[in-house]
Amino acid sequence: MRLESLRNRGLGPSSLRDGARRRLSRPTVSQARLKQFLSEVNSRPPVALPAEAPRSVSLVVPCYGHMTYLPEMLASIAAQTRPPDEVIFVDDSSPDGSRDVLGAFIANRQGVAGRRLDLIINDRNMGQSASLNRGVAAASSDLIMILNDDDYLMHDAVETMLALFGRYRGVALIGANHVSFAGHEVLANAPKMSVDQVPSGRRSVIRGPEQVKGYRLADDLSMTHSGLCFLKVAWEAVGGYRADKQQRVVSSSDRDFQIRVNALFPVVAALDIPLAFWRNDSSVDGDLLS
């Protein structure tokens, strides 16, 4: 699909309401920090995206303090209609038994036989950003998918993302929507394929770098971290996730990363596609540095 065909489309019937909200809200995107970031990266040689669509996916899962949710998260990996080519778990010196649960999954290779499974163990608690960077750096695929350890991937998430990167050429990152939930029973009874979910009524949109200067609020680029996919070269180009909140363009590490990638490359917000169940009673940005 040509970038120009969707670059400036609106986000549906709620766009006027969203516009009013943006005008009345205090800005949360630091354009000054964004300008500094662009000054830094523009002093280096430009990075070109691969000409071909990615064919392999590495799934990176940062883990800390969510042992009770790990069996469900791991089940969503094993149930993928197109398994990831490798899965890299990063145990951030978790104080519970997460390491043992992850180790048992790797030893049994349930549902992912023949795929690379790896467990990186931090010798101290480093925070989510540093854990993500360690996992992405160790990945061998050109395309990286992120999954939070307390969330759950739709069973067609990997297959859908590969198809989207084949459809939207010349983009560095694609983020989708989610279904919010709390509790084991709600998740157990919910449909697990993205095609079975009720459409959000909002369309997928391409955001070019020229649009980032107009971002005022973090959700002006709206996408869920679990299920997020990006090219590894884009992660390298922006310097990865930032642990120090004083260096971010917004407070949360995931949205800061997404916006900085968007400042250099076109990205897709697939707002009409839910690719993950997001647990709304536990997810937090676990970075320690501020």
| 152-153/205-207 β-pairing | unpaired
- pLDDT, tens only, 209-253: 999 999 999 999 999 999 999 999 999 999 999 999 999 999 999
In the chain, which ranges are continuous DSSP H helix? 15-24, 31-42, 70-78, 98-108, 128-138, 157-167, 184-189, 232-238, 253-264
How is residue 41 written in tokens? 């990266």
Report pLDDT for 111: 65
* Alpha carbons within 13 A on the beta-carbon side of 243: 13
How close are the terminal C-alpha atoms of the chain, in Å? 41
**CA-CA distance, 172 to 159, in Å (whole number)?**
17
Range in 11-15, 103-107, 150-154 the model is least confident about: 11-15
Phi, psi at 259, each rounded to 5°: -70, -40
- pLDDT, tens only, 19-37: 555 556 789 999 999 999 9
Domains and CATH numbers, the chain: 13-42+49-279 (3.90.550.10)
In 43-156, which ranges are continuous DSSP H helix? 70-78, 98-108, 128-138
Host H or E run for residue 145: strand 143-146
- pLDDT, tens only, 48-80: 999 999 999 999 999 999 999 999 999 999 999
pTM of the prediction?
0.88
